[in-house]
A and B are shown apart, each in its own frame.
Chain A
Amino acid sequence: MTDTLPADPAGSAYFLDFETGEERRATFAVIVDNEPGVLHRVVGLFSARGYNIESLTVAETDHAVHTSRITIVTRGREGVLAQIKAQLGKIVQVRQVFEVGGDPRWVERELALVKVRGTGEHRVEALRIAEIFRARVIDTGTDSFVFELTGAPDKINKFETLMRPLGLVEVSRTGVLSIARGAERV
Chain B
Amino acid sequence: MTAHQTISPAPVTAAEKLTGAEIVVRALVDQGVDTLFGYPGGAVLPIYDALFHEPRLKHVLVRHEQGAGHAAEGYARSTGRPGVVLVTSGPGATNAVTPIVDALMDSIPLVVITGQVPTHLIGSDAFQECDTVGITRSATKHNVLVKDVRDLARAIHEAFHIATSGRPGPVLIDIPKDVQFASCPYTPPGEVRFAHAYAPRRLGDPARVREAVELIASARRPILYVGGGVINAGPTASEALRAFAGATGAPVTATLMGLGAYPASGPQWLGMLGMHGAYEANHAMHDCDVMVCVGARFDDRVTGKLDAFSPGSKKIHIDIDPSSIGKIVHCDVAIVGDAGEVLAQMLDAWAGRQPADLSPWWAQIDGWRARNGFAYAPSDTVIKPQYAVERLYALTRGAEAGGREVYISTEVGQHQMWAAQFFHFHQPNRWMTSGGLGTMGYGLPAAVGIQVAHPDALVIDIAGEASVQMTMQEISTAVQYELPIKVFILNNEWMGMVRQWQQLLHGERYSHSYASALPDFVKLAEAYGAVGLRAETPAELDAKIMQMIDTPRPVIFDCRVAKDENCLPMIPSGKAHNDMILADMAAELGSLIEDDGKRLV
Taking beta carbons and an 8 Å cutoff, which residues of A are in contact with B?
Answer: 1, 3-7, 9, 11-16, 33-41, 44-45, 48, 58-60, 66, 68, 79, 82-83, 86-87, 89-90, 92-93, 95
Interface residues of B in 304-332 (CB under 8 A from A): 306, 321-323, 325-332
A92 & B198 in contact (Cβ 8 Å cutoff): yes
Min CB gap B210→A, angstroms: 14
B323 & A89 in contact (Cβ 8 Å cutoff): yes
B195 & A11 in contact (Cβ 8 Å cutoff): no
Complex Cα spacing A39 to B137, Å: 11
3 tightest CB-CB pairs across the interface, nearest first? A11-B326, A12-B330, A86-B323
Contacts A12-B326, A44-B138 supplied; 5 other A-B pairs, CB < 8 Å: A6-B323, A13-B328, A14-B328, A37-B3, A41-B137
Residues of chain A within 8 A of B306, CB atoms compared:
14
Complex Cα spacing A139 to B585, Å: 79
Interface residues of B in 455-471 (CB under 8 A from A): none
Complex Cα spacing A4 to B8, Å: 28
Residues of chain B within 8 A of A82, CB atoms compared:
326
Complex Cα spacing A48 to B101, Å: 14
A12 & B329 in contact (Cβ 8 Å cutoff): yes
Interface residues of B in 9-28 (CB under 8 A from A): none
Closest to A92 in B: B142
A1 & B200 in contact (Cβ 8 Å cutoff): yes
Closest to A59 in B: B2
Complex Cα spacing A77 to B6, Å: 35
A33 & B2 in contact (Cβ 8 Å cutoff): no
Closest to A58 in B: B1
Q: Assess A14 versus B330: contact at CB under 8 Å? Given A36-B145, A68-B1, A95-B197.
A: yes
A36 & B6 in contact (Cβ 8 Å cutoff): yes
Query: 19 A-B pairs, CB-CB below 8 angstroms?
Result: A7-B326, A9-B331, A9-B332, A14-B306, A14-B329, A15-B330, A34-B2, A35-B5, A35-B144, A37-B144, A39-B1, A44-B137, A79-B326, A82-B326, A83-B327, A86-B323, A89-B323, A93-B142, A93-B196
A1 & B197 in contact (Cβ 8 Å cutoff): yes
Complex Cα spacing A31 to B5, Å: 17
A33 & B196 in contact (Cβ 8 Å cutoff): yes
The answer, yes or no, to whether B64 is at the interface (CB within 8 Å) is no
The answer, yes or no, to whether B288 is at the interface (CB within 8 Å) is no
The answer, yes or no, to whether B133 is at the interface (CB within 8 Å) is yes
Closest to B197 in A: A95
| Selected contact of A92 from candidates B6, B134, B141, B330, CB within 8 Å | B141
Complex Cα spacing A89 to B322, Å: 9
Interface size of B in residues (CB-CB distance below 8 Å): 42
B198 & A1 in contact (Cβ 8 Å cutoff): yes
Q: Assess A48 versus B329: contact at CB under 8 Å? Given A38-B1, A38-B3.
A: no
B2 & A60 in contact (Cβ 8 Å cutoff): yes
Closest to A32 in B: B1
Residues of chain B within 8 A of A36, CB atoms compared:
1, 3-4, 6, 133, 145
Complex Cα spacing A1 to B200, Å: 6
| Selected contact of A5 from candidates B7, B166, B322, CB within 8 Å | B322
Min CB gap B146→A, angstroms: 11
Which of B1, B2, B137 is the most central at the interface, judged by chain A CB atoms within 10 Å of its CB? B1
B1 & A34 in contact (Cβ 8 Å cutoff): yes
B342-386 vs A, CB cutoff 8 Å, 1 = contact: the mask equals: 000000000000000000000000000000000000000000000
Min CB gap B168→A, angstroms: 13
The answer, yes or no, to whether B86 is at the interface (CB within 8 Å) is no
B321 & A90 in contact (Cβ 8 Å cutoff): yes
Which of A6, A7, A9, A16 is the most central at the interface, judged by chain B CB atoms within 10 Å of its CB? A7
Complex Cα spacing A37 to B145, Å: 9
Interface residues of B in 193-216 (CB under 8 A from A): 195-201, 208
Residues of chain A within 8 A of B208, CB atoms compared:
7
Complex Cα spacing A12 to B323, Å: 10
Interface residues of B in 118-146 (CB under 8 A from A): 133-134, 137-138, 141-145
Residues of chain B within 8 A of A60, CB atoms compared:
2-3
Min CB gap A46→B, angstroms: 11
A11 & B325 in contact (Cβ 8 Å cutoff): yes
Interface residues of B in 154-205 (CB under 8 A from A): 162, 166-167, 195-201
Q: Assess A66 versus B325: contact at CB under 8 Å? Given A16-B330, A37-B133, A48-B138.
A: no
Residues of chain B within 8 A of A68, CB atoms compared:
1-3
Complex Cα spacing A165 to B3, Å: 42
Complex Cα spacing A23 to B208, Å: 30
A92 & B137 in contact (Cβ 8 Å cutoff): no
Residues of chain A within 8 A of B200, CB atoms compared:
1
Interface residues of B in 496-522 (CB under 8 A from A): none
Min CB gap B14→A, angstroms: 26
| Selected contact of A87 from candidates B7, B195, B323, B328, CB within 8 Å | B323
Complex Cα spacing A40 to B144, Å: 12
Min CB gap B267→A, angstroms: 33
B3 & A34 in contact (Cβ 8 Å cutoff): yes
The answer, yes or no, to whether B44 is at the interface (CB within 8 Å) is no
Closest to A44 in B: B138
Residues of chain B within 8 A of A11, CB atoms compared:
325-326, 330, 334
Residues of chain B within 8 A of A93, CB atoms compared:
142, 196
The answer, yes or no, to whether B226 is at the interface (CB within 8 Å) is no
Complex Cα spacing A92 to B200, Å: 10
Interface residues of B in 27-45 (CB under 8 A from A): none
Complex Cα spacing A100 to B430, Å: 47
Q: Assess A1 versus B199: contact at CB under 8 Å? Given A9-B330, A11-B325, A36-B145.
A: yes
Residues of chain B within 8 A of A6, CB atoms compared:
322-323, 325-326, 334
Residues of chain B within 8 A of A83, CB atoms compared:
323, 326-327
A13 & B134 in contact (Cβ 8 Å cutoff): no
The answer, yes or no, to whether B336 is at the interface (CB within 8 Å) is yes
Closest to A39 in B: B1
A4 & B196 in contact (Cβ 8 Å cutoff): no
Which of B5, B166, B200, B325 is the most central at the interface, judged by chain A CB atoms within 10 Å of its CB? B325
Residues of chain B within 8 A of A38, CB atoms compared:
1, 3
Residues of chain B within 8 A of A12, CB atoms compared:
326, 329-331
Closest to A34 in B: B3
Complex Cα spacing A9 to B201, Å: 21
Residues of chain A within 8 A of B167, CB atoms compared:
90
Complex Cα spacing A39 to B2, Å: 10
Complex Cα spacing A114 to B133, Å: 39
Residues of chain B within 8 A of A41, CB atoms compared:
137-138
Complex Cα spacing A152 to B137, Å: 34
Complex Cα spacing A166 to B141, Å: 51
Residues of chain A within 8 A of B133, CB atoms compared:
36-37
Complex Cα spacing A60 to B5, Å: 12
Residues of chain A within 8 A of B141, CB atoms compared:
92
Closest to B196 in A: A92
Q: Assess A40 versus B326: contact at CB under 8 Å? Given A11-B334, A35-B3, A92-B198.
A: no
Closest to B199 in A: A1
Complex Cα spacing A48 to B134, Å: 14
Which of A15, A36, A41 is the most central at the interface, judged by chain B CB atoms within 10 Å of its CB? A36
Complex Cα spacing A37 to B133, Å: 8
Complex Cα spacing A34 to B137, Å: 16
